[in-house]
Structure 1
Amino acid sequence: MTGPVWLNLALIAFVAAAFGSGPALARPTLPFGVRIPARRTGDPAIAFARRRYNRGIAVGAVVASAVVLSGWTTRIDLVIVGLVALYAVLGSLAHRSIIAAKRDGGWYAGTRQAVAADTSLRSDPVRPQWILLTPSVLLAVVTAVVGLAEDAKSFSTVFAQVLVVVLISLLTVAISRARPEIDAAQPSASASRYREYLHGVLSLLLVSAGCANATLLVVSLQLWGVADTTVPVTIVAYLPLLAAFIAWIGFSLRSGDAGHRLSPTAGESETRYEQRDDDRYWFAAGMVYLNRNDPALLVHRRVGTYWTLNLGHPVAWLLLVIVAVAGVLAGLGVFPLPIKGA
């Protein structure tokens, strides 16, 4: 995999920026995926871990750029894989160093730990604005009509559009019913922030479905010979996806992880409690959750604007088995996957 030097350098810069912004967007009480008391957010051990991580991010980007500029390899994919692996190691080292400081310093000693819940999120939940899904449905219908009019031999892109609508709808419902992120130290304020954050996530999901189907419409027109397969048309085809990507980045920067940067509509009521130390249920630096005593199927990850399955829930393993079986059957050719140009 090769490309223009400027494009390769831009890709390296993007990867470095993505990994470098993670700690800055994380909740203050979850540095590098470690649960800490609010009074410890300014601890020197955390500041040191951040500085070391940021230096590693910068050094990795400089070395990767030097490799590209020197022409030592033209395989930018290998350079990016190596860079991602390096950044993952740096994140793991930062995670472990904070874990050690937390354990050795007894940061939770003498604290009153609790878990907070907001019943209003159940009695008056954040409801998805399903009207935002209308463009994606209409685009799928338009694509199918054009395909029929052109007597298309393949409707793989139409099937992909339908799949986008179905999957985004299911994901929207699942996320809207996932366990909310409420901080026991500031229950009312954090509940208010999470409500605003969830509303934004659900709206962006539904809008992103329309962006994806708009791209698939133009791709369909190219495959069926209705539109020219030229660079300008191809660029136009992927502009909706680019717009959705930029919107997600802007939302993440404004809201922060789980909406902690948003201004709450409720008062910043403080309690005498700290959020329960639940590190024992999280693995891979806050990416994997396993708690058999938690009835929640979907929980917000400690890193990024993502949710993950509770692997302690039996339904989670059932879903994983279904996905694995579908992948194996597709690999064996039991049922065909849509192929571009087919």
Structure 2
Amino acid sequence: MLYNALFNLGILAAVWGALALAPSPLLNSPSVPFGVRVPPDKANAPEVAAQRRRYGALLLAATAAVAVLALVACAALDSLVVGAVGGSLLLTVVGVALWIRAHRAVADAKEQGGWYEQTRQGAVTDTSLRTDPVRFPWPWAIPAFAIVAVSALVGAVVYPDLPAEIALPQKSFSGTVYQTYPTTFWTAFALVLAQILVTASMAGTVAGILRARADLDVSRPRTSAARYRRYLTSMSRSLLGMAALLNLMLLGLSGMLWSDNRSQSLMALVVGVPVLAVLGIIAHLVLRVGPGGSRLPADITEPDSGLVPRDDDRFWHGAGMIYVNTDDPAITVPRRVGFGWTVNLGNLRFLVVTAVLVAVAMGVGVVVAVTM
């Protein structure tokens, strides 16, 4: 019982930490508090600071209440994960609601205070990101591709000797259970196919962000452009490194699958080490690189242009989380809330490609279901 309670509290503490950091400059540009674009000199305005304090206080109170409910559910149902899963979902919903409330409050303060009325707005681009783009770091992709090749080779060797049925792990409220399936190509090589999907997704993501529209600082465009190039290099290498680590985890799980090894300690090692390494990469990006490369050292300096970023709130919906601009040819743009990039849901090319991929995925799913 004590272990279950500590497990639930640990999960909720992790969720609280992630939600508490959401409005922090660690994950967001200071000029977009709670997803609202404000002039740089208003990033720490009293109205913004008050919303940060209120968001943090209400989130802490909500976490305490949800923790009590989770512990009660854990004790009543005698389950390790029911309280944690339900509590995490509930706390996430509360956190999103608090974020939306703070977003509206900051937007109202911005409008009522006329924060943009006396500013010189501008936008800047660096054409060299198209004429001389940051190159795809192919050497950093070699480990991910090599692990996929090793997995496929080992699988091809052991496949003829596999038993008629193979056990695949399934997650349930009572923990990890195993379900047996007839041994087919799809069941035996399911995790190898997952490796291919992970590698292709990461490579595609890197290719996309290298062509994404840059969100440069109009007050110091040359400095910002140089820093952004270093940011792209750090992000692309990190993503490919994560792909290699995830593929390594899937290789270990494939080995356990093919050998019918159900050791929980071995599974914890196979999964835990790569996941911890991925978390280490993410921590490096957050603490040492920063949103848009804001923590990277600047190679050059230049005087302040006196311009501020244009007020583009009309293109951002869902409390600053969803970008829709039919006039913007870019498919991928920097996220306003959180770290990394998001897609332009107003871009027709993206919508067409997404529809095609969904149709292909549904077709593959039908084929797999029929053949299993």
What TM-score do the two structures reach when normalised by structure 2? 0.84
Q: Does 1:178 align with 2:212?
A: yes
C-alpha contact 2:323 2:344 (8 A) present in aligned 1: yes
CA distance in structure 1 between the partners assigned to 2:107 and 2:367 by the alignment: 47
In the alignment, structure 1 segments of 5+ residues that lack a partner are: none
How far, CA to CA, are the matches of 2:138 and 2:241 in structure 1?
A: 10
Task: Provide the residue aligned with 2:168 in structure 1.
Answer: none
Task: Give the Cα–Cα distance (whole angstroms) in 2 for the partners of residues 179 and 326 of structure 1.
Answer: 28
Please state if 1:100 is matched with 2:111.
Answer: no
Cα offsets for 1:213-247 (capped at 9, x unmatched): 10111111111117x32122112211113211231
- Are 1:157 and 1:338, in contact at CA under 8 Å, matched by a contact in 2? no
Distance 1:65 1:89, change over 3 A: same
- SS state at 1:229 partner: coil
Q: Residue 181 of structure 1 contacts residue 191 of structure 1 at CA under 8 Å; is this kept in 2?
A: no
Give the Cα–Cα distance (whole angstroms) in 2 for the partners of residues 125 and 338 of structure 1. Answer: 45
Match of 1:141 among 130, 137, 149: 149
Q: What residue identity is the alignment partner of 2:248?
A: A
Within 5 A, what are the aligned runs for 1:1-342?
Answer: 4-24=4-24, 25=26, 26-70=28-72, 71=75, 75=82, 76-151=84-159, 152=162, 153=183, 154-225=188-259, 228-238=261-271, 239-326=273-360, 328-329=362-363, 334-336=366-368
User: How far apart, CA to CA, are the structure 2 residues paired with 1:255 and 1:59?
Assistant: 32
Give the letter aligned to residue 42 of structure 1.
N
Q: Taking structure 1 as reference, are residues 52 and 308 closer, same or farther at Cα in structure 2, changes over 3 Å only?
A: same
Are 2:67 and 2:87, in contact at CA under 8 Å, matched by a contact in 1?
no
**Matches of 1:82 and 1:67, distance apart in 2:** 10
Runs of 4+ in 1 over 6 A off after TM superposition: none
Q: Given the superposition, is the C-alpha separation of residues 189 and 212 from structure 1 closer, same or farther in structure 2, using an over 3 Å criterion? A: same
The answer on whether the counterparts of 1:257 and 1:303 sit within 8 Å (CA) in structure 2 is no
Q: Give the alignment's Cα RMSD to 1 decimal.
A: 2.1
Q: 1:116 to 1:337 in 2, by over 3 A?
A: farther
What amino acid maps onto 2:147 in structure 1? L
Shift of 1:100: 0.1
Residue 326 of structure 1: how far off its partner (Å): 4.0
TM-score using structure 1 length: 0.92
CA distance in 2, matches of 1:56, 1:212: 36
The 3-state SS of whatever aligns with 1:293 is coil
Question: Is the CA contact (8 Å cut-off) linking 2:8 and 2:71 kept in structure 1?
Answer: no
Q: CA deviation at 1:268?
A: 4.9
Q: CA deviation at 1:150?
A: 1.3
Contact 1:60 1:83 in 2 (8 A): yes
Residues 156 and 338 of structure 1 are in contact (CA less than 8 Å); yes or no, is this contact kept in structure 2?
A: no
Secondary structure in 2 matching 1:299: strand
Q: Which range is displaced more, 319-328 or 139-148?
A: 319-328
Gaps of 5+ in 2: 163-182
Count of aligned positions:
335
For residue 169 of structure 1, report the CA deviation from its aligned partner: 1.3
Provide the rounded CA distance (Å) in 1 between the counterparts of 2:284 and 2:59: 22
Identical counterparts, % of pairs: 34
Query: How far has the Cα of 1:337 moved from its partner?
Result: 6.8
Secondary structure of 2:342's counterpart equals strand
